[in-house]
Amino acid sequence: MVETLLTQIVESGICWIILLVALVCYQQLFSLLMSPVALGENGKDITPTLITVMPLLGLLGTIMGLLNSFVALQTGATGTDLFSQGISEALLTTQLGLLCAIPAWTIHGMLVSRHNRQGLVNGE
């Protein structure tokens, strides 16, 4: 089962894009966590945008997977293999987008809260 899941992730272009966006997002979050520069001070914080994009890419993968299922039905494919493969792709991309975005939302919220508390303590 794990091998099948990894194979699906490796073969899906949308999964690769989600993972790439997640990598950049978590790198940004890590640098915000470790840097002494205040959050959003440099005006280049693209992290919220990256976090928002991940579940949207998952939704795009869902639509593409469902379209693949409907194309399989339309072409008269027999058996459930082609149909279930599209449904599996749809669910996988949705799950991956959410699994990458939810922790990022949480970490970013924690950083914003910490930044706001520090601003109140410092009298800003």
Alpha-helical segments (H) within 1-124: 2-11, 13-34, 47-74, 81-122
Domain ranges within the chain, ordered by starting residue: 51-75+85-124
pLDDT digits (tens, 9 = 90+) for 14-62: 999 999 999 999 999 998 888 756 566 655 678 899 999 999 999 999 9
Lookup: tokens for 115: 């930044």
Lookup: tokens for 46: 């693209």
Q: What pTM was computed for the model?
A: 0.82
Quote the distance between the C-alpha of residue 42 and its chain's center: 25
